[in-house]
Chains A and B, each alone.
Chain A
Amino acid sequence: MSAPIQLRPDETFLLNVGPQHPATHGVLRVKMQMDGEYIVKAETVLGYVHRMHEKMGENRTYAQYLPNLSRLDYLGALGYTHGHVLAVERAAGIEVPERAEYIRAITVELNRVASHLFWFGAFVMDLGGFSPLMYAIQDREHILDMLEAVTGARLTYCYYRFGGLYNDVDDDFIEAAKRFIPRMRKSLKKYDALVSGNVIFRNRLEGIAPVSAEMCRKYGATGPVARGSGINFDVRKNEPYSVYPEFEFDVPVYHECDSLARYKVRMDEMEQSLRIIEQGLEKLPDGPIMAEKKPKTIKLPVGDYYQAVETARGSFGIRIVSDGDKNAYRLKLRSPTYSNMHLFDEACEGMLIMDALAFMGSLDLVIPEIDR
């Protein structure tokens, strides 16, 4: 679609996209050197919602730090708390009952679907189509209602505890989840009919913003962004944790490297998450939801611990350096969007501003998670 371009670096102007701009979905600022509608150079400026979560991790006990994790990514918060509890449990040697792990997997996957749904709506809204957002939010609402019933929160969950869960799921939740799966599958078909086949939609995404696999490796991009560029990497498969090895699911990978590929990966992932939820509900064992042997105050042995989990946005890693105290000596969060976002500067050079902002939408940025 786009015409061949001859950029003139001497006749440019500076455009500030953000920190308050509808396309950045948060307080991200992009300084764009523009030649008309074309971007000569872009520079992302971070830090507008920096809240020092890593530093807080050094000053709070591990349990006190739990709620912080769900403030990173307000769309897929469960994945982040999951990473933290897994890291601490492994370091402290706490055995988690199987039922708790299953419920964790089910809720994390529900949260992933919710996150992807919201992304889907916001992404199509970036392209100028408003209605899919409302449909997506309605489906997401069912998930939030279910999660609210068991976790007590709608966005910033603090559901997982070291050694188990805060609350067991009841029959209502299981019933609701079972009812939700076929309904969601029907919705996915509807989204496909409404959006995926649309000519305008495809023209705006196909072949736009190619991000090669090398570039993904260079910037450390993970998750759907990397999988849209042909990198078959999913922490759930490659470095299995929790009860994921017991589930049968595929990792959708597309080799087109364009915005459409990233879209397709996420749409397929929703279906795979539904498969996991389905199997989890089927296999859900009875038993306790909390470990019996668990120290009152958790002190990790001296050492260096790292745990990666696959969140909705990619590989989230938490590194805890412990000096044996009840809070961490140093805590480092590797947030996936931080790496994914840095693709933007390089990839959008020479791109139209329209395509660049569509590309930004396809990266699924959540700004509080970048800034931490």
Chain B
Amino acid sequence: MSLTLLNVIVAVVIAIAFAAANAAYLVWAERRGAARIQRRPGPNINGPFGLLQPPLDGIKLMTKQLMIPGGADKILFMVAPVLAMAPAIMSFVTIPFSEGIAAHNMELGVLVIFAFASMGAMAILFAGWGSRNKYSVMASVRAVSQNVSYEIPMLITAITVVMTTGSMDLKAISMAQSGGFWHWNIFPSLHSPLMPISFIIFFICSLAETNRAPFDLGEAESELVAGFHTEYGSMGFGLFFMGEYANIVIGASLTTILFLGGWDCPFGMFPGVWWFLLKIYLLIATFIWIRWTFPRTTIYGLLNLSWKILIPISLFNLLLTAGLLKVF
């Protein structure tokens, strides 16, 4: 066994562990956060502050029988949850947590993450189609059109950042922003004065990409029962759930690396992985806060927002940045 292969295996195991732990405890954080917003205690019985809730939930989900509804497409039905979780874990491999902590740094890191992220839509489509449930089909059609239309502005904004940095390497992008918060991409620079707007577009897109409220049309409880995972129980549902939270972590990490300077300290001291984690958890807290504050948009409102507002603005921003890069 060569050393690189061993390296990759260890990296993947760590990525899985990180993703699973994050997914489990983000559920807890979300429930506690929601409870705090709604003035109720939330899970607080199992363990101190309810910290044992996630493992217990995991045991419950794993011991449940996996039901496959009659008439469902068995292969698609079984593949979909795995396909929801696996790409999310694979994306973790490329994310640099600090200068030294990266499972496998790739020169085309941005591209790899987007490639894996777009597989999530496939999982939802498989789940919806394979379940043989009208609600699931409707939900998956919604979710796929949503994912496709939000990937475009997200990619365009990422390209804007890549152009100013001149690299698709996530580590290089992060390194280019080091040395205090005024170097971060979120603040307008000579090359791209519209960066704050880009950041907002990217943030909205990552909300929509992860199917989070107010864009949670794929699992709109009040209309489509539970959306694409209506027919899933036991760990099938568990994987979808964990995949969603893993995707949230990736969205937050990508936003941090592209716009918030990665592991850079805002005032130039002690750069390191803690800053990175602090930033992504702050972003995730914002995700949770938004979810429990806003009602859901309509599917047409959502698509209009992407095609009529976000895509033109991000395209304009791209052209402006390209022009300014050429001039200066």
Contact = CB atoms under 8 A, between A and B. Distances in A.
Interface of A: 1-3, 13, 15, 21-23, 36-37, 124-131, 134-135, 138, 194-195, 198, 200-201, 203-204, 352-355, 357, 361
B7 interface: no
Contacts of A355: 298
Max count, chain A CB within 10 A of own CB: residue among B138, B213, B296 = B296
10 contacts: A1-B301, A13-B134, A23-B222, A23-B223, A37-B138, A129-B293, A129-B294, A203-B297, A204-B301, A352-B298
Contacts of A129: 293-296
Residue of A36, A134, A352 with highest tally of chain B CB at under 10 A:
A134
Contacts of B296: 127-129, 200, 204
Nearest to B298: A354
Interface stretch (B34-42, B54-62, B103-111, B320-328): B34-42
B299 interface: yes
B223 A354 contact: yes
Contacts of B135: 15
B216 interface: yes
Given A128-B216, A128-B222, A1 B300 contact: yes
B39 A128 contact: no
Given A127-B222, A200-B214, A352 B300 contact: yes
Contacts, number: 85
Contacts of A361: 222
Contacts of A124: 295
A123 to B, nearest CB: 10
Interface residues of B, number: 28
> Across chains A and B, which 6 residue pairs bring their CB atoms closest together, nearest first?
A128-B296, A134-B38, A129-B295, A127-B295, A128-B295, A126-B222
Contact of A201 (B34, B292, B295): B295
B220 interface: yes
Contacts of B298: 1-2, 203-204, 352, 354-355
Given A13-B134, A131-B38, A200 B294 contact: yes
B225 interface: yes
A335 B149 CA distance: 46
A3 B37 contact: no
B38 A22 contact: no
Interface in B96-117: none
Contacts of B214: 128, 200
B304 interface: yes
Contact of B295 (A1, A200, A353): A200
B220 A204 contact: no
Given A2-B300, A22-B225, A128-B294, 6 more contacts: A21-B225, A36-B138, A130-B34, A130-B292, A200-B295, A361-B222
A107 B37 CA distance: 31
Contacts of B37: 131
Nearest to A125: B222
Contacts of B38: 130-131, 134-135
Contacts of A198: 294-295
Interface centre among B37, B225, B295, B301 (most CB of A within 10 A): B295
Contacts of B142: 37
B221 A22 contact: yes
A195 B38 CA distance: 14
A195 B295 CA distance: 9
Interface centre among A13, A21, A195, A354 (most CB of B within 10 A): A354
Choose among A2, A15, A131, A138 the residue with the greatest number of B CB atoms under 10 Å from its CB: A131
A178 B222 CA distance: 37
A307 to B, nearest CB: 36
A203 B305 CA distance: 12
Contacts of B39: 134-135, 138
Given A127-B296, A129-B295, A357 B222 contact: yes
